[in-house]
Structure 1
Amino acid sequence: MPQIWAGVDIGKTHHHCVVPDAEGRRLLSRRVLNDEPELLALLADVLTIDEDVVWAVDVTEGMATLLISVLLNHGQQLLYIPGLAVNRASAGYRGTGKTDAKDAV
């Protein structure tokens, strides 16, 4: 079992990453530019929380390819969660309206 999960809601120019703990508290929540230096900084910050991390993304092509390449080039474990599953799961969260952070969780 991984120690932490890092969920990333993929966007055209920015992504939103959320790292919750086992109780659901947010250890990190950040919007990042889809840019290699920014993604490397995000990776470093997540690994500072714990090196045993699994990353989850909702898109695997196009706008997600740079992030996926950065993660795979740094030996990170990566899972794909289909957008429909993300949509259904986010419906169960408190509050109203769609947010990138909610989708990342």
Structure 2
Amino acid sequence: MDWIFSVGDGTGLPTAAHLASYAGLAPAARSSGTSIHGKHAPRGGNRQLKRAMFLSAFTALHDPASRTYYDKCRARGKTHTQALLRLARQRISVLFAMLRDGTFYESRVPQATAA
């Protein structure tokens, strides 16, 4: 778990997006000159942290809030792996907030959407 020592208490990272980029979970645009080829998952980043967050997302499917988010991604046409990576990115934001605020994780019940 070397990634814990490299992230530390999170004070070196100003936002959750920076932590996601460090982990390799932030989408990156592929471009060459004036050609932009869309956003894709980067191959770089801290592989240990990315793997830990991916496995965390897979395990979090038992959590009602996480499962709801995963199911929404699947309903939008995302593959299983894409939905898990999106969930991992969401969990990076939660991890960042926990490091920033010095709090523990508290599961939340997903709110019903207004139809």
Calculate the TM-score normalised by the size of structure 2. Answer: 0.27
Q: Which has the larger radius of gyration?
A: 2
Judging by fraction of residues, say which structure has more strand. 1
